[in-house]
Chain A
Amino acid sequence: MVRRIGGEPSQPGGRYKDVTTDAPVDTDDRLIKAGLLKKLLTRPEFGSIIGAVAVFAFFSVITENFFTVDAISAYTNPAATLGIMAVAVALLMIGGEFDLSSGALIGGLGITMALLIQDAGAPVWLAMLLSLALAVGVGVFNGYMVIKTKLPSFIVTLGTFFIVQGAGLGFTRLISGQTTIYLSDYLEGSDWTRILFASTPFAGIRIPVYYWIVIAALATFVLLRTRYGNWIFAVGGDAASSRAVGVPVNKVKIMLFVNVSVSAWLVAMFNTFRFQSAQIGTGVGLEFEFIIAAVIGGCLLTGGYGSAIGAAIGALIFEMVRQGLAFARWEADWFKLFLGLMLLGAALLNQFVRIRAQRARS
């Protein structure tokens, strides 16, 4: 058996006490405490925090009622579902991959559940679980394909996007002859679904907002404080080097894809139980909004860098602008202009931070 010389690696300092080194250690003078501002500046979510404050201030000035409860619920409610997806997409992007199927999957998973309830007569809970299983399956498929084929995830998930959309439409028409399935009759007696996914527990703020906050906090904790977070940064930053020090690169990537699909499932539950109906085509086109929110939140398109809380804030900026323009009675056309400028600004800022971080000090 393997005999270890000395102690376990998990006991730092314990093993090499006997080693005397007389090398000069030139600490002190070079150990400069980085200022708080400088530290903040190097955080990936820095830009999004500034952006959120600026956007909020801007619309507070040009509209009188931007911080009334009505207004806050008007932008936090849509920001919640966008934010939940953006956080999952941000983790995936930090891990070095994309998912273009995530938007279409929201509609696909909702309609799957609705078909199971309406046409297969499945109980609501079972339909939910089967839809969840499908979500996990799609995530595993995406991850596995990307790893096995070594194709860019951009291409693989573009394929999945069309498959999900096409299969969703095809099967829904084939089975039910409809594109929208109304579930109100079937949901009678399943009050728990409304409480879990479609209630408004407090002051006009719908329940997805609370999920959003909890998920953003949890993802930030995982990313910054657990080894899984360490691995996510590592596989996106340099997959080969990570593998060489024992990081299970493939498992991490598959888990990240599954996390995106399961988040899409959660959003599908919010939609379906709120409107008591499922419509095929829901979510198509949103995948770019998730990516944009993640980029505004500090994610690099090249992986290895980004922030979960930043992505959540990116989603908030997104919806504040959209609702703010409506409140100010401006044409919705301006939204795209705003969005484009914000995306470019964020991408440039991220680029700048990345260059700073990679610049070798000679």
Chain B
Amino acid sequence: MTHLIEVDSVSKYFGNIMALKDVSAHVNAGEVTCVLGDNGAGKSTFIKILCGLHQASDGQYRVDGEVANFASPREALDAGIATVYQDLAMVPLMAVWRNFFLGSELQQGKTPFKRMDVAKSKQTVVDELGKMGISIRDPEQPVGTLSGGERQSVAIARAVYFGARVLILDEPTAALGVKQAGVVLRYVVEAKKRGLGVILITHNPHHAYPVGDHFVILRRGEVLGDYQKKDIPLEQLVQMMAGGADLETLQHELEKAAAQTGDDELAEAATAFGEETEQLGLGDE
């Protein structure tokens, strides 16, 4: 079958740094694909290819089964693919409403007098943010005066508003508190129910598991696995994500340091760490 979005054996090199190698993944309409991986695994690089910021060095990118070569994010947006970037978000000195519509401004009037529809833009921003449970005091206020969570919410509201078919979110919950992260995840589910394909990037399996339909795990630029939800319990996802072996190594290091220095506090920390790892169902079975 043809998928809404599909990448096939995509690789990406930055000079001689290999950020992605032979990555294949897909998302269908009404489905949430979660991409999980530790820092530096290549998650952001992956979505930057999907949204037209980077072009793949190798492999194929298909939309509706047809090869897509987006030269810019504009082209991806025109195809209905909207993205919330982790590191590229808002212009801090610009007003909230200007940021929201940046690149896709609402206009009115005939050509020589074409201008932005400021009143409608502001109203839309207030309405759309209201739907996320966020009220901004004044759409004229610069984005730089918003808190990190509010800023993230504006970016998400913008992508949801303009993402006609596919919504891509790069670590949307990383900077948020529990309550706001919940709001974001609910938004993911709503977008899915409306028939959008959602690609959710995160390094937190506890955020991914409740909303995801299938999970692509990236490690050092390669796909470690692509699982349907029914095929993988949360514990195993957590383990694959962090790498159980890595955690054990960490515990051993702590113990070794404690033994060398005779530091009780460090020893206690190592024990606590071991118990926690066990509780999470990590470590060697």
The answer, yes or no, to whether B144 is at the interface (CB within 8 Å) is: yes
- Determine which of A6, A9, A18, A227 lies in contact with B107 in the assembled complex, contact meaning CB atoms within 8 Å: A227
* Residues on B with beta carbons closer than 8 Å to the beta carbon of A5: 29, 80, 164-165, 194-196
A13 vs B83: C-alpha distance when bound (angstroms): 20
* Residues on B with beta carbons closer than 8 Å to the beta carbon of A305: 93
Evaluate whether A243 and B93 lie within 8 angstroms (CB atoms) in the complex, with A6-B164, A21-B132, A361-B147 already known: no
Quick one: CB contact mask for B123-147 with A, threshold 8 Å, 1 for yes? 1100110111111011010101111
In the complex, what's the smallest C-beta–C-beta distance from B231 to chain A, in angstroms? 29
In the complex, what's the smallest C-beta–C-beta distance from B214 to chain A, in angstroms? 21
Contact B92–A357 (Cβ < 8 Å): yes
In the complex, what's the smallest C-beta–C-beta distance from A137 to chain B, in angstroms? 26
A240 vs B89: C-alpha distance when bound (angstroms): 9
Residues facing B in A11-36 (CB within 8 A) are: 12-13, 15-16, 18-19, 21, 23-27, 30-32, 34
Contact A242–B103 (Cβ < 8 Å): yes
Residues facing A in B75-127 (CB within 8 A) are: 77-80, 83, 85, 88-94, 98, 101-107, 114-116, 118, 120, 123-124, 127
Quick one: CB contact mask for A228-242 with B, threshold 8 Å, 1 for yes? 001101100110111
The answer, yes or no, to whether A37 is at the interface (CB within 8 Å) is: no
The answer, yes or no, to whether B183 is at the interface (CB within 8 Å) is: yes
Contact B85–A244 (Cβ < 8 Å): yes
Contact B91–A242 (Cβ < 8 Å): yes
Contact B138–A237 (Cβ < 8 Å): no
A358 vs B138: C-alpha distance when bound (angstroms): 15
The answer, yes or no, to whether A149 is at the interface (CB within 8 Å) is: no
The answer, yes or no, to whether B65 is at the interface (CB within 8 Å) is: no
Residues facing B in A206-262 (CB within 8 A) are: 221, 225-227, 230-231, 233-234, 237-238, 240-248
Contact A234–B132 (Cβ < 8 Å): no
A21 vs B127: C-alpha distance when bound (angstroms): 11
Contact A230–B102 (Cβ < 8 Å): yes
* Residues on B with beta carbons closer than 8 Å to the beta carbon of A227: 105, 107, 116
Evaluate whether A359 and B145 lie within 8 angstroms (CB atoms) in the complex, with A5-B165, A226-B115 already known: yes
- Determine which of B29, B90, B133, B195 lies in contact with A241 in the assembled complex, contact meaning CB atoms within 8 Å: B90
Contact A237–B73 (Cβ < 8 Å): no
How many interface residues does A have (CB within 8 Å)? 51
The answer, yes or no, to whether A354 is at the interface (CB within 8 Å) is: yes
The answer, yes or no, to whether B162 is at the interface (CB within 8 Å) is: yes
Contact B131–A21 (Cβ < 8 Å): yes
* Residues on A with beta carbons closer than 8 Å to the beta carbon of B115: 221, 225-226
Contact B116–A19 (Cβ < 8 Å): no
Evaluate whether A226 and B116 lie within 8 angstroms (CB atoms) in the complex, with A21-B133, A246-B74 already known: yes
Contact A246–B104 (Cβ < 8 Å): yes
* Residues on B with beta carbons closer than 8 Å to the beta carbon of A244: 51, 53, 73, 83, 85, 88
Contact A225–B116 (Cβ < 8 Å): yes
Contact A360–B147 (Cβ < 8 Å): yes
* Residues on A with beta carbons closer than 8 Å to the beta carbon of B183: 23
* Residues on A with beta carbons closer than 8 Å to the beta carbon of B135: 25-27, 30-31
- Determine which of A18, A26, A221, A245 lies in contact with B73 in the assembled complex, contact meaning CB atoms within 8 Å: A245
- Determine which of A4, A26, A230, A238 lies in contact with B105 in the assembled complex, contact meaning CB atoms within 8 Å: A230
The answer, yes or no, to whether B190 is at the interface (CB within 8 Å) is: yes
Contact B164–A31 (Cβ < 8 Å): no
* Residues on B with beta carbons closer than 8 Å to the beta carbon of A6: 164, 194
The answer, yes or no, to whether A10 is at the interface (CB within 8 Å) is: yes
In the complex, what's the smallest C-beta–C-beta distance from B110 to chain A, in angstroms? 13
Contact B142–A246 (Cβ < 8 Å): no
- Determine which of A9, A23, A240 lies in contact with B133 in the assembled complex, contact meaning CB atoms within 8 Å: A23
- Determine which of B98, B130, B140, B144 lies in contact with A358 in the assembled complex, contact meaning CB atoms within 8 Å: B144
Quick one: CB contact mask for B44-73 with A, threshold 8 Å, 1 for yes? 000000010100000000001000000011
The answer, yes or no, to whether B40 is at the interface (CB within 8 Å) is: no
The answer, yes or no, to whether B161 is at the interface (CB within 8 Å) is: yes
The answer, yes or no, to whether A151 is at the interface (CB within 8 Å) is: no
The answer, yes or no, to whether A304 is at the interface (CB within 8 Å) is: yes
* Residues on A with beta carbons closer than 8 Å to the beta carbon of B88: 238, 240-241, 244
A358 vs B53: C-alpha distance when bound (angstroms): 26
A4 vs B194: C-alpha distance when bound (angstroms): 12
- Determine which of B120, B144, B196 lies in contact with A12 in the assembled complex, contact meaning CB atoms within 8 Å: B120
The answer, yes or no, to whether B148 is at the interface (CB within 8 Å) is: yes
- Determine which of B91, B127, B142, B196 lies in contact with A234 in the assembled complex, contact meaning CB atoms within 8 Å: B91
Evaluate whether A13 and B127 lie within 8 angstroms (CB atoms) in the complex, with A5-B195, A243-B72 already known: yes
The answer, yes or no, to whether A50 is at the interface (CB within 8 Å) is: no
Contact A362–B93 (Cβ < 8 Å): no
Chain A residues in the interface with B (C-beta under 8 A):
2-6, 9-10, 12-13, 15-16, 18-19, 21, 23-27, 30-32, 34, 221, 225-227, 230-231, 233-234, 237-238, 240-248, 304-305, 354, 357-362
Of the A-B pairs whose beta carbons lie under 8 Å apart in the complex, a sample of 10, sorted by A's number, is A2-B78, A6-B164, A6-B194, A30-B137, A234-B98, A238-B92, A241-B88, A244-B51, A244-B73, A360-B148
Chain B residues in the interface with A (C-beta under 8 A):
29, 51, 53, 64, 72-74, 77-80, 83, 85, 88-94, 98, 101-107, 114-116, 118, 120, 123-124, 127-128, 130-135, 137-138, 140, 142, 144-148, 161-162, 164-165, 183, 190, 194-196
